[in-house]
Amino acid sequence: MWPQNKENEMQWVLLSLISAFLLGFYDIFKKRTVVGNAIIPVLFYSTLISGLIFLPLIITSHFSPGWYDGAFWKQFYVEPLTARQHLLVFGKTALILVSWMFSYSAMKNLPITVVGPVNQLRPAISLLLLFAIFQERLTWMQWLGVVLALVSFYLMNRSGKLEGIHFKTNKWVYMLLGSAVLVALSGVYDKFLLSGESISPTTIQAWYTVYDFLMMAIMYFTIWRPKRSEQPFEWRGGIVLMALFVSIADVIYLSGLNHKAAVIVLIPLILYGVRLLVSFAYGVIFFKEKNIRSKIVPLLMVIAALVFMCV
């Protein structure tokens, strides 16, 4: 049993692990929901549900702030924001929304056992961005982790060719890489909102879901509805589960990121490592995806890369 101060210092690790586990299942529900389905309405209804989860917190925090005086309830309080802070959260929302559009399109058209390992370039990108922005240096082991991540991407390219997926010419792979860069940037953005602007995790997530829904509503009614006959949509229960899992996971992730002892470089690595294992295992067992043997080596290299980047 750790001493109390040690438990407090490592709380961010537990929060990151829980968030990663939830996001792994979010990836699974996302895959089951978008295959053979129109992406924009899936995102529209998912963001609507997420918004409905947080809207009561926004309303009660504004009209009855006394409800959140207790130590436990205080973490659910949505703080009032300045116009500038609202604009900053809106910017985060736009960044994530573009990333989602790229990621969902790729997920719809690529096997989840390819998507997972390719997505693991995100930690390498995050690591490089965070160290570049905070003007720190990578250790030789962390550089080794970055190199392993790139080599695993090359090997996954070779595996993908067995399924007719050529990374150099496949637009879905490029969308996946674009999503990885945007997600890495959003991690830095989140830390800025939490530390630089001192906005609480619940406040960020609550207003993020509202702006996310408003943006998706515009796309839903202007882009998809006029051409809905060309892009048929089918309601699936996974949409509700997507919204629930990602909403809870994001609040937990931001709470871990906001922890004083948190090492911001390591949190993305924990998230992606656990998330990869959950989605990859599900793809093998339930989706019965092909060429698993050729994907095992890149998978192991990704895990090794994460270990080296964590050192």
What's the whole-number mean pLDDT along residues 53-72?
88
pTM of the model: 0.74
Distance CA 212, CA 216 (A): 6
If pLDDT is split at 50, 70 and 90, which confidence band does 4 have? Answer: very low
Query: Which has more pLDDT, 307 or 311?
Result: 307
- Indicate whether 98 pLDDT > 50: yes
Backbone angles phi, psi at 94, to 5 degrees: -60, -40
Token duo for residue 250: 């994001």
- Indicate whether 2 pLDDT > 50: no
Distance CA 129, CA 137 (A): 11
What's the whole-number mean pLDDT along residues 264-282?
66
Distance CA 101, CA 99 (A): 6
Assess contact for 243 and 50: CB atoms under 8 A.
Answer: yes
- Indicate whether 103 pLDDT > 90: no
* Average pLDDT of the residues of the chain: 78
Instruction: Provide the percentage of residues in the chain whose pLDDT is more than 70.
Output: 66
The residue ranges of every structural domain in the chain are 4-310
Distance CA 83, CA 55 (A): 19
